[in-house]
Amino acid sequence: MSAATGTAGNSIVITNIGELATPIGFGPPRGRQAMGHVEVTKDAVVLARDGIIAWVGTRAGFEAAPELAAAARDLPVLDAGGGAVIPGFVDSHTHFVFGGFRDEEFLWRAGGLPYMEIHRRGGGIRTSMKATRAARVEELVASGRKRLGKMLALGVTTVEGKSGYGLDLDTELRQLQAMQLLSASQPIDIVPTFLGPHSTPPEFEGRASDYMDFVIAEVLPAVKAQGYARFCDVFCERNVFELADSRRYLEAAAGLGFGLKLHADEIERIGGAGLAAELGATSADHLLKADPADIEKMAKAGVVATNLPLTAFSLREPYANARFMIDSGCALSLASDLNPGSCYSQSFPLIFAIAVLYLGLSLEETLTATTLGAAAALGLADRIGSIEVGKAADLLILDAPSYRHLAYNVGMNQVAKLVKGGKLLS
Ligand code: NIG
Ligand code: FE
């Protein structure tokens, strides 16, 4: 083995891992048993070849197998310095491509003005729509790149990103194009989602169903032809897009081969979670007001429950009932919802703090929800989200001896080094 820095190529041996902690599985971690199980290996070694994990185990096991030493002979070695190693975080719900900011609205909300009241007055998503329509693709790429850089520093190795601030054909496609350009020019894997029905634009004032007709007839086929988006999403909410419009849009998207996601039952209970179950969506997200009976339907249908605790925190709304979702048999994803309005944060450290201190989740459930559960919310549980042979070598070396510090060192970034696809990035 050569004591190289590991900056070239995508094969590597990581030694001197004080504690390796990972959920286990190649499918969605459904229910209490799978969500709560984190396998912990002391004094571990990981070997990655061509970006894929080829071996994981104890140092003793590694040294006892001569074929492993042979396989590792010419690979760069990364000394974890006794730190803990966990899978890279997967942020399964973000709106990281947008123009402008809404810092003023944040302070209005802090002063007591409700989120939906700002929306009703033509602010909110529409404010971001105006700034995004005015932004050239280069500007969207530049601001998106900065946000992705911050995510990388916090340990995010795969991120989902939504359109939804154009609300017209050109700008929706431009947001997706910005993600495509970013995919090719920075290390985080991006999973693109079309969210044309995020709000009704001024051209369709008071005519949400007409806007939905337009999205289905003209925008969806163009998004399909562009060939980049993998999922379609809708803000299924009272006075935004009601159940019937959400349903026909999602059915059209499914017909074109897209996976389905919903912003469901965030502000009011209108049955979005039940619709997600009925249509076999990959995930239903937010769920603050979801009907428990609909959560049980989601569990049966295998819909991943995505909770966005930073949004509830920022909006000062009661958190979604993550405990009930896991206990009902759902796989849970915890994601940031980074966006310019309801939640301008990509803080995984804060997600850990809220989950463990306020959501009644164990640290193990929280780790699973931010890695394997989040991977399942993107249909990628077979490829990422855990440190197992055959998965992508996306992992984090912590500046701490145990994964327990993810909760214990409250709200602090613990990521010392990040390996993406077998390559040391920091
Ligand atoms: O997930 N709820 C709808 N959409 C976003 C917020 C969008 C915005 O405020 O710009 C969300 O919270
Ligand atoms: Fe969102």
- Provide, for the chain, the percentages of residues in helix, strand and coil under a 3-state DSSP scheme, each rounded to the nearest 5: 40, 25, 40
374 within domain boundaries = no
Supply φ then ψ for residue 113, to 5 degrees: -75, 125
Q: How far apart are CA 323 and CA 91, in angstroms?
A: 20
59 within domain boundaries = yes
CB-based contacts of 115-119 (< 8 A; 24+ apart in sequence): 115/267, 115/315, 115/341, 115/342, 116/239, 116/267, 119/199, 119/240
| Burial of 181 from C-beta contacts in 10 A (0-12 / 13-18 / 19+) | middle
Residues 6 or more apart whose CB falls under 8 angstroms from that of 44 comprise 17, 19, 20, 56, 57, 58, 59, 85
166 within domain boundaries = yes
Which ligand 1 atom is at minimum distance from the Cα of 102? 10
158 lines ligand 1 (CB under 6 A): no
Q: How far apart are CA 82 and CA 45, in angstroms?
A: 11
246 within domain boundaries = yes
Q: How far apart are CA 115 and CA 239, in angstroms?
A: 13
Cα 409 to ligand 1 centre (Å): 29
Count how many domains the chain has. 2
Q: Which domain holds residue 39?
A: 12-87+387-424
Cα 10 to ligand 2 centre (Å): 33
Range 32-43 burial, b when 16+ CB lie within 10 A, else e: eebbbebeebeb
Same domain, 20 and 143: no
- Identify each DSSP E strand in 199-258 by its residue range: 231-236
Same domain, 276 and 165: yes
Sign of CA dihedral 229, 335, 102, 241: positive
Residue nearest to atom 6 of ligand 1 (CA): 342
Helices (H) and strands (E) in the chain, counts: 19, 16
Same domain, 259 and 272: yes
pLDDT for the residue numbered 332: 99
Question: Which amino acid makes up residue 229?
Answer: A
Cα 339 to ligand 1 centre (Å): 7
Ligand minimally distant from the alpha carbon of residue 266: 1
- Taking a 5 Å cut-off on Cβ, the residues next to ion ligand 2 are 337
270 within domain boundaries = yes
Which ligand 1 atom is at minimum distance from the Cα of 124? 9
Q: How far apart are CA 301 and CA 410, in angstroms?
A: 35
Residue nearest to atom 9 of ligand 1 (CA): 341
Tens-level pLDDT at each residue, the chain (426 residues)? 444 444 448 999 999 999 999 999 999 999 999 999 999 999 999 999 999 999 999 999 999 999 998 888 899 999 999 999 999 999 999 999 999 999 999 999 999 999 989 988 888 999 999 999 999 999 999 999 999 999 999 999 999 999 999 999 999 999 999 999 999 999 999 999 999 999 999 999 999 999 999 999 999 999 999 999 999 999 999 999 999 999 999 999 999 999 999 999 999 999 999 999 999 999 999 999 999 999 999 999 999 999 999 999 999 999 999 999 999 999 999 999 999 999 999 999 999 999 999 999 999 999 999 999 999 999 999 999 999 999 999 999 999 999 999 999 999 999 999 999 999 997
Q: What is the DSSP letter of 228?
A: -
Same domain, 83 and 97: no
Tokens coding 274: 């039940």
Query: Are 72 and 56 within 8 A, CB to CB?
Result: no
124 lines ligand 1 (CB under 6 A): yes
Same domain, 243 and 329: yes
Q: How far apart are CA 173 and CA 192, in angstroms?
A: 11
311 lines ligand 1 (CB under 6 A): yes
Q: What is the DSSP letter of 116?
A: H
pLDDT for the residue numbered 100: 97
DSSP labels for 151-194? HHHTTEEEEEEE--S--SHHHHHHHHHHHHHHHTTSSSEEEEEE
381 within domain boundaries = no
Q: How far apart are CA 344 and CA 176, in angstroms?
A: 20
Same domain, 49 and 134: no
Question: What is the reported pTM?
Answer: 0.97
pLDDT for the residue numbered 71: 87
* Count of Cβ atoms closer than 10 Å to residue 100 Cβ: 16
* Count of Cβ atoms closer than 10 Å to residue 164 Cβ: 28
341 lines ligand 1 (CB under 6 A): yes
Same domain, 201 and 298: yes
Same domain, 24 and 39: yes
365 lines ligand 1 (CB under 6 A): no
Cα 284 to ligand 2 centre (Å): 11
Largest CA distance in the chain: 71
62 within domain boundaries = yes
CATH number of the domain where residue 96 is located: 3.20.20.140
33 within domain boundaries = yes
Same domain, 195 and 233: yes
Domain end residue (candidates: 346, 367, 396): 346
Same domain, 236 and 318: yes
Question: Which amino acid makes up residue 179?
Answer: M
* Count of Cβ atoms closer than 10 Å to residue 49 Cβ: 18
Distance in Å from the first CA to the final CA of the chain: 21
Chain Cα centroid distance, residue 80:
26
Cα 227 to ligand 2 centre (Å): 22
Side-chain-side CA neighbours of residue 417 (13 Å): 18
